Amino acid sequence: MRKTFVIACGGTGGHLSPGIALAERLTDLGYRCVLIVSRKKIDARLLEKYPQLEFRRAPGAGLDFSPMGLFRFFCSQCSAIAFAFAFLLKNRPAAYVSFGGFMTLGMALVCKVLFIPVILHEANRIPGKAVRWISRISTRVYLPPGVRVKGLSPLVFRSAGFPVRREIKPLDKAECRRMLGFPEHGRLLAIFGGSQGAKPLNDWILSAWEQFSAAGISVLCVTGPGKDIKDALIEKTSASGAPVVARFIPFCDTMAEALSAADIVISRAGAGTLAECIACRVPAILVPYPFAADNHQAANAKYYQEKGAGIMVPQSEIDSLTSIVLEIISDKDLLPRFRENIEKLSREYVWDNVVSDLVHYATKERKIIRAEQA
Exposed / middle / buried, residue 254 (Cβ in 10 Å: 0-12, 13-18, 19+): middle
Which residues, in sequence order, are CB contacts of 99 under 8 Å at separation 6+?
7, 8, 9, 15, 18, 19, 121, 123
Residue 94 in contact with residue 362, Cβ under 8 Å?
yes
Q: How far apart are CA 306 and CA 141, in angstroms?
A: 25
Type of residue numbered 46: L
Are residues 259 and 239 in contact, defined by beta-carbon separation less than 8 angstroms?
no
Pairing between strand 157-159 and 95-98? unpaired
pLDDT band at 105 (very low <50, low <70, confident <90, very high): confident
Report the share of the chain in percent with pLDDT over 70. Answer: 90
Task: Give the DSSP H or E segment for 243.
Answer: strand 243-249
Global confidence as pTM: 0.88
Q: Would you state the pLDDT for residue 368? A: 46
Candidate from 45-59, 60-74, 119-133, 147-161 with smallest mean pLDDT: 60-74
| Residues 59-87, mean pLDDT to the nearest whole number | 76
For residue 149, what pLDDT is reported?
86
Residue 66 has pLDDT above 80, yes or no: no
Q: Is 8 left (phi over 0), alpha (psi -120 to 50) or beta?
A: beta
**CB-CB neighbours of 362 under 10 Å:** 19
Q: How confident is the model at residue 367 (pLDDT cuts 50, 70, 90)?
A: very low
- Averaged confidence pLDDT in the chain: 88
Which pLDDT value is given to residue 49?
83
pLDDT band, residue 155 (cuts 50/70/90): confident
Q: Do domains 4-163+351-367 and 173-348 have the same CATH topology?
A: yes
pLDDT-derived band of residue 29, with 50, 70 and 90 as boundaries? very high
Q: Kind of pairing, strands 233-237 and 140-143? A: unpaired
Higher-confidence residue: 366 or 40?
40
- Alpha carbons 181 and 175: distance in angstroms, whole number: 10
pLDDT digits (tens, 9 = 90+) for 158-195: 999 999 999 999 999 999 999 999 999 999 999 998 65
CATH fold label, 4-163+351-367:
Rossmann fold (3.40.50)
Q: How far is Cα 191 from Cα 254, in angstroms, rounded to an integer?
A: 14
- Check if the beta carbon of residue 111 is closer than 8 Å to that of residue 96: yes
Per-residue confidence at 37, pLDDT binned at 50, 70, 90? Answer: confident
Higher pLDDT, 119 or 127: 119
Q: Is the pLDDT of residue 372 over 60?
A: no
pLDDT in tens, 186-244: 999 999 986 565 889 999 999 999 999 999 999 999 998 776 676 688 898 888 899 99
pLDDT in tens, 319-352: 999 999 999 998 989 999 999 999 999 998 899 9
* pLDDT above 70: residue 365: no
Q: Looking at the predicted structure, is the pLDDT value of residue 81 above 60? A: yes
* Domain regions of the chain by residue span: 4-163+351-367, 173-348
Classified by CATH at the fold level, domain 173-348 comes out as Rossmann fold (3.40.50)
Q: Is the pLDDT of residue 20 over 90?
A: yes
The three state secondary structure string of 108-130 is: HHHHHHCCCCEEEECCCCCCCHH
- What's the rounded mean pLDDT across residues 278-298? 94
Predicted pLDDT of residue 337: 96
